[in-house]
Amino acid sequence: MSDWFAKLQQDFVLNFVSDNRWKYLTSGLANTLKITFFAVLIGIALGVVIAIVRSTWDKNKETMRPGLGKVLLGVGNALCQIYLTVIRGTPVLVQLMIIYYIIFASSNNGVLIATLAFGINSGAYVAEIIRGGIMSTDNGQFEAGRSLGFNYVQTMWYIVIPQALKSVLPALANEFIVLLKETSVAGYVAIRDLTKGGDIIRGVTYSPFLPLIAVALIYLVMVMFFTWLVGRLERRLRSSDH
Amino acid sequence: MTTEKLIQVKDLQKHFKGGEIKALDGVTTDIHRGEVVVVIGPSGSGKSTFLRCLNLLELPTGGTITFEGTDITDPHCNINLHRQKMGMVFQHFNLFPHMTLLKNMTIAPVKLLKKSQADAEKKAMELLERVGLADRAGAYHSPLSGGQKQRLAIVRALCMEPDVMLFDEPTSALDPEMVGEVLDVMKQLARDGMTMVVVTHEMGFAREVGDRVLFMADGKLIEEGSPYKLFTNPQSPRLQDFLGKVL
C-alpha cells in the first residue's frame, strides 16, 4: 500500500510539478472555457434567429399574403433548412477541420477558429430546441400580444421567446454540457485545449494515468457545477410562476 | 350611444379550403361608438370568427372592415396601430405568465404608447382598484381564480385606453360562481360608455346590457335588433329554435 502511494506521489510530481507541467492543464482549461463560452453565445444567437425564421414560416406559410415578405421568409427558411441539414448531418470534427484547414487556412488563431466552428455547430441544435419551445408555447399568448398592438417581432421578443426559453431550459443545458465536452476534439487541429494539455503531459512523461484522470475530473467538476447552476436557475424561474 | 359608426363591416367573408368551408358568409353590420353589441348563436355559427376578424387576428378572405374611417383589411394599412385602439379579451385570459401582474398591465402602454413606467403603473393601479385587485399587482398570476384572471385581462386591455373592447366568450372558461364578477366589470364598462362587441352564451347579459343583439348561424347574420325584440319576438325559425334551447 505504501509502495503504491509512494509511486503515486512520484507520478504526481513527474506529471504536474516538474517543469511546471501543470501549466499545460491550466492554459488548456482557459482555452476550453474560452471556446465553450463564446461558442455558446454564438450558438444561442444563431439558434434564436433560426428558430424564429423556421417557426414563423411553419405557422404562417398558408395564411401569409403573397408578396416580397413571403418570398424573403421562404428563402430564409430554405437557407436555414440547408444549414440545419448540413450541420446536423456531418461530424463536428469534420466541420472543425474544414473550417481550420480550408476556410481559415491562412489564419493561425486556433482558439478563434474553434470558437466559430463549435458555435456554428451548436447553433443548429439550439435552433431546433428553441423552435420546439416556440411551437409549444400556447398560441393564445401570441394572440394576446398581437391584440395589444405589438408587431410580430415584438410579440416574439417580449412574450413568446422568454416563455419558450424557460420551457426548453433543461434541453438547452444538456446541449451546453455536450458542447463543453465536444470541444475536446479541438486538439485534433493543434489547438491546446484541456484535453490536449493532458495529452501533451502524457506524451512527455510516458505516464498516462494521472494526466488523463486529472483531465476527466476537471470536465466532471465543470459539468457538475454547471448542472447545479442550471438547477438553481430553473427553481428560480419556476417560483416566479405556476 | 352615438350615431358615429366606429366599425363598419361590409360583406365579410372567411372561407377555408378554397371556399369549401364558409366560416363567415357575407356579414354586414355597423358598430356605433358607445354601443354594446352582443353576438349570440350556436357553436360553429362563426360568431367567434366574426369577432376575431374585427381586429384581424383572423384574416378575412373577402369584404371590408372600416375602423375609425380606415379600411383595415387593406394590406397596406398598419394593423398594429389600429389594434392598439381595439382591446381584446379572450376565453382563456392569456395573461403573460412570465411577468408580474403589474408588468402584464404596463408592458404595452410603455413599449407602444411610450408612456413612462410610472405613468403606466398609475393608470394600471387606478384600473386595478376599480376591479378590486390592486393588492395583487406585484404577484405573478397563478394563485388567482379564473374570475380574477379574467378581470385582470380586461384591465390589461383597458390600460391601452382602447376605443372598442372585443370580448370572445369571456365567461365560458369560468366556474359558474365566477361568472358574475366578470359580468359585473363588463356591465360597469358598458355604463361608462365603452363600445363593446361581446360574443357570449350569457343570455341574461345580452338582455340586460346589450343595445343590440346579433344572431348568427352558419356564418351568416340571421337576425339583429334590440334584445327585447329578439328575445320576445324572434322572427326567423333558426333563432326561435336556438332560443327554445338556451332559454
Residues A188/A97, Cβ–Cβ less than 8 Å = yes
Residue type, B126: E
pLDDT at B30: 95
| Predicted interface score ipTM higher than 0.85 | yes
Residues B120/B109, Cβ–Cβ less than 8 Å = yes
Strand partners, B67: B7, B70
Instruction: Please list the pLDDT of chain A residue by residue as tens digits (242 residues).
Output: 788 889 888 888 888 888 889 999 999 999 999 999 999 999 999 999 999 999 999 988 887 778 888 899 999 999 999 999 999 999 999 999 999 999 998 888 889 999 999 999 999 999 999 999 999 999 999 999 999 999 999 999 999 999 999 999 999 999 999 999 999 999 999 899 999 999 999 999 998 999 999 999 999 999 999 999 999 988 888 766 54
Is B43 at the interface with chain A, CB within 8 A? no
> Which DSSP string do the residues of B209-237 spell out, in sequence order?
H-SEEEEEETTEEEEEE-HHHHHHS--SH
Cell of A17: 510539478
Q: Is the four-CA dihedral B90, B94, B95, B96 of positive or negative sign?
A: negative
Min Cα–Cα distance to chain A from B232, Å: 36
Is B196 at the interface with chain A, CB within 8 A? no
pLDDT at A236: 84
Min Cα–Cα distance to chain B from A240, Å: 7
Asked if A242 and B142 come within 8 Å (Cβ–Cβ), the reply is yes
pLDDT at A242: 44
Angstrom distances, CA of residue B91 to CA of B38, B74, B95, B188, B199 = 15, 28, 11, 19, 10
Min Cα–Cα distance to chain B from A169, Å: 14
pLDDT digits (tens, 9 = 90+) for B155-214: 999 999 999 999 999 999 999 999 999 999 999 999 999 999 999 999 999 999 999 999
pLDDT digits (tens, 9 = 90+) for B123-146: 999 999 988 888 877 777 667 899
Give dist(CA A144, CA B83) in Å, integer: 11
pLDDT at A2: 83
CB atoms under 10 Å from CB of A32, counted, come to: 29
Q: pTM of the full predicted structure?
A: 0.85
pLDDT digits (tens, 9 = 90+) for B40-65: 999 989 999 999 999 999 999 999 99
Angstrom distances, CA of residue A106 to CA of A35, A96, A100, A101, A194 = 20, 15, 9, 8, 25
What residues of B are in contact with residue A143 (Cβ under 8 Å)? 57, 90, 94
Domains of chain A: 2-240 (1.10.3720.10)
Asked if A148 and B160 come within 8 Å (Cβ–Cβ), the reply is yes
pLDDT digits (tens, 9 = 90+) for B163-178: 999 999 999 999 999 9
Q: Which of B92, B107, B153 is nearest residue A158 as measured by Cβ atoms?
A: B107
Is B123 at the interface with chain A, CB within 8 A? no
Asked if A147 and B96 come within 8 Å (Cβ–Cβ), the reply is no
Asked if B141 and A241 come within 8 Å (Cβ–Cβ), the reply is yes
Residues B185/B201, Cβ–Cβ less than 8 Å = no
> Which DSSP string do the residues of A185-225 spell out, in sequence order?
GGGGGT---HHHHHHHHHHHHS--HHHHHHHHHHHHHHHHH
Question: How high is the mean pLDDT of chain B?
Answer: 93
